[in-house]
Every structure is written in structure tokens, then in C-alpha cells.
Amino acid sequence: MNLTQFPRRNYVQDATPIEALPAFSAALGNKVNLFIKRDDLLPGCAGGNKTRKLDFCIADALEKGADTIITCGAVQSNHCRLTLSWAVKEGMDCHLVLEERVAGSYREDGSGNNFLFKLMGVKSITVVPGGSDMMAAMEQLAAEVEGSGRKPYIIPGGASNAIGATGYVACAQEIQQQLFARNLKIDHMVVPSGSAGTHAGMVVGMYGSNAGIPVSGINVSRTKPVQEEIVHKLALETAARLGVRESVPAEEITCFDGYVGPGYSLPTESMVEAVKLLAQTESILLDPVYSGKAMAGLIDLVRNDHFAPGANVLFLHTGGSPALYAYLDTFE
């Protein structure tokens, strides 16, 4: 797959580290060897997975002559923080539509990512109730922005379309090069699975290059069959865009839905344990909504002998730690 055929902004100039997690693996009984891909250290305000997707999405926006970005997310959206961050760097305006997925959860003076939206000078925040048609809300905003003489470009939630998912195909290529350079064989990857672009792109990148590294997603909101269908659909679209010869079979998509708890963004005991354990063994910060729940899933899979003894398992850290500061009570 030759990704140079697609315009991008070069936001990711260096590979993010792959680190061994010896103390964390020991805390789980050394059943497997855990490694972490530090996409939380990507450039862009406070790092995280969206930088790889926005590298391609914002290049597309600029090619189309846009000067204003409109996107959407939940009230503590990391995607919105990073979209705004890169819009600032590009000298573009950025408007956000925030979905109050948990009724009453938006606080104008909220900390975490909400604080960063204001700090980076977001042009506007529109809050809509959970379940709203987010595309319709963004299109309405785009019409208003256009009316004021600007040229808007809409990036869908999580930048999870075939353009954005290409960023995770690139990440899969980056990982394969790193593993080759270190002569490290990874048996399995585990990634958070939300709006699906990360999971879909990683599967296309691994499957499309015949890497032989299965990728499991840990859901943060939906049930297994619903999420697997969403990931598969996006993987097919992404593979078609890249010209991957063989279509990605549905069996390549595996999701686990046992770690969502009461719902999206709502804390669980296992998430708190995962966040504390990684912080206290490896001094790496997860987040309460995505990487914390995904790590809770990985911990449970290790404890339940899902992986062969001694397997090398790579966890993708997708970032999100600013949201921790909106959950201080949860960790007391």
C-alpha cells in the first residue's frame, strides 16, 4: 500500500515509541509480555490518536479550499480537542458541536478537554441533546458559517471516515517497521474501538500487508455485533480507497463489549483499576473513557488466559489523559 498517493500535512514526523511494560506485566502474573504503542505522545495539543487521522482529513480540507473546520464529539471529546489544536496550527477557524450523551453532563466551566477548547480559542460550541443527528447539526452550522463568507469543511465524529482511517493504516505500517528493526514478534494487538476509525485502519493496515497480527477492539459504548459491523463497513471503505486487492473478511474484526459498564463515558471499577495500575507500575496515564476501559479489557483477557502463555501483546495507547481532570471524584 503506497500511502504517499494521498495528501497529508505531515503531523506525524517521527514514529511513536513502542515500550515494554515489565512492571505492569509482572503485576498481572507475567502470563504474557505486554507492550504499549505510545500514540498518546503524538504531536498536537496533549497528543492522542486523532492526530494521525487529522493529518489526512485536514489536508483534504485545505485542498478543497476550506478555512473553517466543523466537527463534533461528546462533551469531553479528545477528537474535538485535537481537531481544534490542528486548526489553530493551520490558522483555520474551528467550531464544535458537542453531544450531551449523558443528560446534564455538559458544564460550561467543565475541566479537562472543555477547558482546553476555551484555552485554544474555539470559535463556537453548540451543545445538542444525546441522540441528535450530529451530521444535520454540523450541516446547519456549516450553512451559517458559509453565510458569513467563510468556507467550512465538516470532519465527521472521531474523523472516522475512510480518509481519517488511512492514518491508522499508516500506523500499522509504522508498527511493522519498528518491530522489524527491533526483531520483536508481536502475537496480538488490542485497541480501543469507539467511532471505529482506529480499529478499522489498523485492521486494514495489518491485514492488507499480511502481517499476521490479529487486532482485537475493546468497545467503549456499543454491543459486539453492532460495533463489529460498523468497524467492518469502515474497513471495507478504507481498503477500497487504498486499493487493497482482497476485501477484508468479517472474521478479521473482533470486538469485546464486556467492559463498557453502565454506558459510554460512565466510570467502571475495572477502568479505575486499570488507570491506577498503569500509572503506579509504569507512570503512564490512560483516560477514563477510552484507553482506561480498553486496558481494563486487556487486563481481564490476560487474567482469563485469552492469550497463549508467554505471548507478546501490544496495546495501542490512543491518548485522552486530559479527560482525567474532569473525573477527579472517580479516582479519589
Which residues would be at the binding site for ligand PLP (CB under 6 A)? 48-49, 78-79, 158, 160, 192-199, 287, 290-291, 318-320
Question: Burial code of 216-229, b = ≥16 C-beta within 10 A, e = fewer?
Answer: bbbbbbbeeeebbe
Residues recognised as catalytic: 77
| CB closer to ligand PLP out of 94 and 145 | 94
**Of the candidates 84, 104, 228, the residue with the CA atom closest to the CA atom of residue 155:** 84
The residue of the chain with the least Cβ separation from ligand PLP equals 320
Q: Which three cell numbers stand for residue 6?
A: 494521498
- What's the rounded Cα separation, in Å, for the pair 288 and 273? 11
| CB closer to ligand PLP out of 42 and 145 | 42
CB of 24 to ligand PLP, least distance (A): 18
| CB closer to ligand PLP out of 33 and 39 | 39
- What's the rounded Cα separation, in Å, for the pair 176 and 216? 17
**Of the candidates 297, 302, 305, the residue with the CA atom closest to the CA atom of residue 274:** 297
**Of the candidates 234, 251, 225, 81, the residue with the CA atom closest to the CA atom of residue 169:** 234
Helix, strand, coil percentages (3-state) for the chain, rounded to 5, are 45, 15, 35
**Of the candidates 156, 174, 153, the residue with the CA atom closest to the CA atom of residue 42:** 174
CB of 158 to ligand PLP, least distance (A): 4
Q: Are 202 and 234 in contact (CB under 8 A)?
A: no
Q: Which three cell numbers stand for residue 291?
A: 484507553
- Three state DSSP letters for 131-160: CCCHHHHHHHHHHHHHHCCCCEEEECHHHC
CB of 288 to ligand PLP, least distance (A): 10
| CB closer to ligand PLP out of 78 and 312 | 78
